Each structure stands twice: as C-alpha cells, then as structure tokens.
Amino acid sequence: MELRHLRYFLVVAEEQHFTRAAERLEMQQPPLSHQIRMLEKELGFDLFRRHPKGAELTAGGVAFLEEAKSILRSVELASAKAARAAQGFEGTMIIGFTSSAAAHPLIPGIIRAYRDTYPGVHLELREGNAAELTEEIEQGKVNLGFLRSPVSQPRGIGFYQLLEEEMLLILPVGHPLLEKQKQPQKSELPVISIKSLVEEQFILVRRHGAPGMYSNLIEACENAGFTPRIASEVERMLTNISLVAAGGGISVVPASMKDFHRDSVVYCRIRDARPALVAPITLVSRTASISPSEKNFLELAKKFTRQYKKT
C-alpha cells in the first residue's frame, strides 16, 4: 500500500465519482479506477459501490476513510516537523558553559534571545570547566560551549572569541593594601599596582581549567619582578572568590564577577600589568557536520554580541 493510493481513495470518497476525482487529480479515469481496485484487492474488501451516477462508500470504506485521513494527517505533520528540524527550528541542543563565562550578562542574553527566536528547540544547559567542555564538544556530547580561554585546540573544533573584559584583583575587606589607597569615588574601583602584590598569597583556578588567564597572571607577576606564591588552586572561579572572602588569600577574576560577595571582598583594578590581564569569552563548536540548529545558534550569538558591544 502506497500513500498515493490513500490520497486517490480520499479524493474519490470526497467526489463520490471516479471521473470527477480523476480530473481533480489531473489523471485519466481508467488508471485511477485500476489503482483503487488494487487497493481493494490488497485490503480484501470493496471500498466503493459503483453505480451509473458515481460511487458511494461501503461500510468498510467508511471505516477505512477515517483511518486514511488519520494516516495522511500524521504524514503531513511528520513532514512539517522534519522540515522544521532540517531548518533548525525543531530539536534539542546541549549548551555547556563555565561558571565564570556564565557570570557575564552576554551569555544569558544570547541564550534567552535564542529561545525567543527558536522556541521549538529545547535547550539543555550543562556546566563544566573549559577542558571538559572542549572534550565533550569534540565527542558530540555537547553541541556548543561558552568558556574563557581555550585549553586545547583539537582539530575540527572552532573557537570564536566574542569579547574580552578586564580582570580585577580581589582582596578581603580590611586588607592592608586598601588602607594605602585614596578613598575612591562611589562608582570607582580602587587601583592596586601589581608590584605591590609581591608578598601576597594567591588563590587561582587550576591551570588546566583556565590556562590562558593563569599563565598571563604568572607572566605579569614575573615581569613585575616576582614569582607569585600560590596558596591554593581551585576548580571554579566562584570558589576562589569565596576563599578570598574567608581570608585565604587574594585572587583575580573577570570584571563581570564583581557582584559576588560584595559585603566581604573588594574588587580592584590592576595597574602596570604586562601583559594586560584580560578575560575573553569564547564560543566553541564543531566545524564539520554542524547541524542547522548549531549554525543558527552561532549566527545569533555573533549578531547578539555585535549589538551588545554597541550598548
């Protein structure tokens, strides 16, 4: 049984006449009658009672009519859904992110804009560090990811830097370095020279989790004449803010994280750092066999970022 047989049957049932049905289907009447006979033979019963004025459904034909309509509706719905998926309007995507990247307002802005534009695509969100997300994207377990600096650059993976922001020093409230500073304006952050951090204990995200920012800080400290003393290394940037708040040392984080623990830490700008300490936001995806949904997400993210930079 073929779908065209069901469509032929449906038109004949609606017209109750083989000749009119053939005209509507833009075919000759004898081939249409032959196709209906083949369908009846396959089913094992007559669908129509033929008479000189036309054709009317048998009891079996009436029952089969509803099933035929249901089948054709299902096929139409499946075709429409498949077409929407082929265009990136249906399906599921897994979006990964690091905690520090997600703290930047650009990331929730992109995700919300995508959901508004493509409501038929279900998004699953997954947190991880940069190394984990890159590996999962390479393996196809995650579709796209937001992270800071790439930890590796495997073949077939694309890294798209959306923007970069200043890194800030975090000191616990009451730290002696703050006492030496002039009282800043309410809207301004204190400014601390990197050279004054020579005696401090640093709390950093582990090198494999944030290699670019880690190595840049080490290099900036060495260019200032000292090797930083590492008190501890953590997996997430939110953790090092908490440890600074607890008096465990000092740290640096992207400027977009400056609202965390504001009652127990002070965020400061860093002066004289070479190289300049900045934190990029990078969107990661496969470059080959990219799905329509992934392509749409990439294009929207880049467009949204361009608009964000103008605000």
Cα gap 232→250, rounded to integer Å: 10
pLDDT at 238: 85
| Confidence bin at 179 (pLDDT 50/70/90) | confident
pLDDT (tens digit, 9 = 90+) per residue, 131-140? 889 999 999 9
Closest CA relative to residue 137, chosen from 280, 279, 290? 290
Percent of the chain with pLDDT over 90: 55
Domains 3-86 and 91-163+282-310 share a fold: no
Q: Assign 183 a pLDDT band (cuts: 50, 70, 90).
A: low
For residues 185-207, give the mean pLDDT: 87
Placement of tokens 């790439």 in the chain: 150
Give the mean model confidence (pLDDT) for residues 143-172.
93
- pLDDT greater than 80 at residue 212: no
CA distance 298 to 289: 14
Q: Which amino acid would we find at residue 302?
A: K
The per-residue pLDDT for 92 is 93
Highest mean pLDDT among 67-76, 210-219, 297-306: 297-306
> CATH: 3.40.630.30, 3.40.190.10, 2.60.40.420, 3.60.15.10. Which one for 91-163+282-310?
3.40.190.10
For the chain, the domains span 3-86, 91-163+282-310, 164-279
- Residue given tokens 């309007």 in the structure block: 89
pLDDT of res. 130 = 87
Task: Decide: 208 and 131 in contact? Cβ < 8 Å.
Answer: yes
Lowest-pLDDT range of 94-103, 171-180, 185-194: 185-194
Inter-residue contact 96 to 127 (CB < 8 Å): yes
Q: What pLDDT sits at residue 252?
A: 94
- The mean per-residue pLDDT over the stretch 130-157 comes to 91
Higher pLDDT, 255 or 207: 255
Q: Selecting from 3.40.190.10, 3.40.50.620, 3.30.360.10, 2.60.40.790, what CATH number does the domain 164-279 have?
A: 3.40.190.10
Torsion angle, alpha carbons of 16, 19, 20, 22, to 10: 110
- Beta bridge partners, 231, equal none
pLDDT of residue 100: 87
Instruction: Give the model confidence (pLDDT) of 63-80 as tens digits.
Output: 989 888 988 888 888 877
**Burial bucket for residue 125 (CB in 10 Å: 0-12, 13-18, 19+):** exposed
The pLDDT value given to residue 185: 61
Q: What is the pLDDT of residue 192?
A: 94
pLDDT at residue 242 in the model:
92
pLDDT score at 211:
60
Residue 209 has pLDDT above 70, yes or no: no
Q: What is the pLDDT of residue 75?
A: 86
pLDDT number for residue 308: 93
Q: Which residues contact 310 (CB under 8 A, 6 or more apart)?
A: none
CA distances from 56 to 21, 32, 38, 280 (A): 13, 16, 18, 72
- On average, the pLDDT of the chain sits at 90
Q: What is the pLDDT of residue 210?
A: 58
208 pLDDT more than 60: no
Maximal C-alpha separation, the chain: 107
Q: Cβ contacts of residue 91 below 8 Å, gap of 6+?
A: 85, 120, 121, 122, 291, 293
3-86: CATH class: mainly alpha
What is the pLDDT confidence band of residue 311, given thresholds at 50, 70 and 90?
A: confident
Please, which pLDDT band fits residue 181 given cuts at 50, 70 and 90? low
Higher pLDDT, residue 39 or 283: 283
